[in-house]
A = this chain, B = another copy of it.
Amino acid sequence: MTVRVQEQDFDVGKELSELTKGNHAIGGLAVFVGLVRDHVGIQGGGGSEISAMTLEHYPAMTDKMLAKIEAEARERWPLEASLVIHRHGRLEPGDRIVMVAAASSHRQAAFEACEFLMDWLKTKAPFWKLEETDKGALWVDARDSDDTAAARWSKRDPDAAE
């Protein structure tokens, strides 16, 4: 697995070509790209315009956790290749935030591993979003639906917070 946390943007097509290059056992490649939206919904209605966001992170912890999640993904699915890129710093609407890719001989393993890695990033990886909205700069609240999505992968979870 290749993992990068970086400030600069990435080229999705180039990353995917490099990931699969020369490996003809790969039949399917599932990819997720997360983008900055210009509007955020609030539970129960309403919402705010977003002009930009800043991603703060805890680099030493990210590095340490990625080794674990890699081992877990490879234990669960027969992956030929995988990639996680997460940006930090200031981003504007339409900018790419994150990219996750998983390659396997069959599509189901690729899709599941890609969703698993995204769920893990959303609920465990130490990143925090500060949104610049029309109501001021606000730290984003964690979404219950992300915990629900992550919980489907396991009852025993070595990185559970509680």
Q: Find out whether the CB atom of B111 lies under 8 angstroms from the CB atom of A115.
A: yes
Which residue on B lies nearest to A10, using beta carbons? B13
Q: Which applies to chain A's interface (DSSP): helix, strand, loop or mixed?
A: mixed
Q: Find out whether the CB atom of A24 lies under 8 angstroms from the CB atom of B149.
A: no
* A37: contacting residue among B24, B31, B36, B108, CB under 8 A: B24
- Whether a CB of chain B sits under 8 angstroms from the CB of A76 is no
- Determine the distance from Cα of A12 to Cα of B145 in the docked complex, in whole angstroms: 30
Given known pairs A11-B13, A16-B12, A108-B149, the reply for A28 and B33 (CB within 8 Å) is yes
Q: Find out whether the CB atom of A25 lies under 8 angstroms from the CB atom of B38.
A: yes
Which residue on B lies nearest to A35, using beta carbons? B26
- 6 residue pairs from A and B, CB less than 8 Å apart: A20-B94, A23-B94, A24-B36, A24-B39, A30-B30, A32-B107
